[in-house]
Amino acid sequence: MQKAIFLFLISFGIALVLAPLVIMLLKRLKAGQNILHYVDFHAKKAGTPSMGGFIFILPLGILSLFIISKETPISNIAVLASFGYALLGFLDDFIKVRGRRNLGLKAYQKIIGQGGIALLVSIFYYTVNPDGRIFIPFFNTFVDIGFWIAPLCFFGIIAAVNSVNLTDGLDGLAGSVSFIYLIFLSAIIILAGSLAPIAESGTFIQIVAITCGALLCFLLFNTNKAKVFMGDTGSLYLGGIIALLSLFSFMGFYMLILGLMFVVSSVSDILQVAYFKATKRSPTGGKRIFLMAPFHHHLEKKGLAEAKIVFLYSAITILAGMICVVTLI
């Protein structure tokens, strides 16, 4: 635990040095965010530097050299696959910036990229966890689901990556919820590890410490009014690291509980699109369930300030985390 705290502080310090440099570089490159026309109430944010995810990605890239090795193959894959998603997000952001528009990679390119990484990770994980071991929340027991761990891993990664990406719509929202999620995930890994050993759990916690240290620093520059956005570079990375650490520590089902607000973002968006298409041929045209999706934009349309929405999402995530921890004590 002392090493994890030390890594947290070192990561925060590295990010604190990197942040002004990254922001300055992004401004020079004119890597500003373009705002979609139907999010006109965010027009004042146009031009804010994007791709700020590098602020909390680079510290892990540096410090992982000292905490992972040949003896931690699962941790290696978790870090490398997360960097893979960061690279995919960077390509998406780069195309947006270069084209001065809000459309980056095409849908099929994103699907191929996300699916390809998830497929490789799922195959790897099945080879190291052929029994399909996973922890069942609230019942506090490990069960073996065999081959089904592979498709669960695949769809879990895809869902998490896109859910975090959808949640990244307000200053500090995705970063705050991700920070809280990872902190509670560490506590769950420690408590569940007392019931049965979890391979490489110590390294997982160190990865969380590094990510959270840098993420906390990033939030200093990302909370309202944001000086920099994480972009898809950061949101895809966070979705990847959250999914991979949760699944590799056998805690995959906690993504539905700890990540409740990520689930809300995805479900609200899916329902909105499905209902609109289903009612498209009605006399009044396509109808909507929410004023705007994902749900945090609906709350904005209802008049809630960004800071209050971030607080609400964070508070619910904290409560979900506390429930998860209490049931393990």
Per residue in 233-267, pLDDT (tens digit) is 999 999 999 999 999 999 999 999 999 999 999 99
Alpha carbons 103 and 299: distance in angstroms, whole number: 25
Q: In angstroms, what CA-CA distances link 292 with 45, 120, 272, 273?
A: 18, 35, 8, 10
CB-side exposure of 238: number of CA atoms within 13 Å? 35
Q: Residue range 25-38: average pLDDT?
A: 72
pLDDT of residue 43: 60
Q: Residue range 126-130: average pLDDT?
A: 95
pLDDT of residue 318: 98
pLDDT of residue 104: 79
Helix (H, G, I), strand (E, B) or coil at 174: helix
**What does the mean pLDDT of the chain come to?**
92
pLDDT of residue 163: 97
pLDDT of residue 41: 59
Burial of 253 (0-12, 13-18, 19+ CB in 10 A): middle
Instruction: Examine the pLDDT at 88 and tell me if it is beyond 80.
Output: yes
Instruction: Examine the pLDDT at 225 and tell me if it is beyond 80.
Output: yes
pLDDT of residue 97: 83
> Which of 101-110, 116-125, 167-176 bottoms out in mean pLDDT, i.e. has the lowest?
101-110
DSSP 286: -
Q: How many of the other CB atoms lie within 10 Å of CB of 194? A: 9
Q: Residue range 97-111: average pLDDT?
A: 82
pLDDT of residue 30: 79
Q: Residue range 25-40: average pLDDT?
A: 70
pLDDT of residue 35: 59
Per residue in 275-297, pLDDT (tens digit) is 998 888 777 677 899 999 999 99
pLDDT of residue 39: 59
Top-confidence residue, 325 or 29: 325
Instruction: Examine the pLDDT at 37 and tell me if it is beyond 60.
Output: no
Q: Do the beta carbons of residue 250 and residue 122 sit within 8 Å?
A: no
Provide the sign of the torsion angle of the four alpha carbons 161, 256, 151, 270, taken in this order.
negative
Burial 58-97 (b: 16+ CB within 10 A, else e): bbbeebbeebbeeebebbbbbbbbbbbbbbbbbbbbbebb
Asked if residue 3 has a cis previous peptide bond (ω within 30° of 0), the answer is: no
Closest CA to 237 of 32, 71, 11, 53: 53
pLDDT of residue 16: 97
pLDDT of residue 209: 97
Question: What contacts 57, CB < 8 A, 6 or more positions away?
Answer: 83, 86, 214, 233, 234, 237
Q: How many of the other CB atoms lie within 10 Å of CB of 125? A: 23
pLDDT of residue 42: 63
| Vertex 309 angle, CA 325 and 167, to 5° | 75
Locate the domains of the chain by residue range.
2-255
pLDDT of residue 98: 81
Question: What contacts 75, CB < 8 A, 6 or more positions away?
Answer: 67, 68, 200, 203, 204, 207, 248
Instruction: Examine the pLDDT at 34 and tell me if it is beyond 70.
Output: no
pLDDT of residue 195: 84
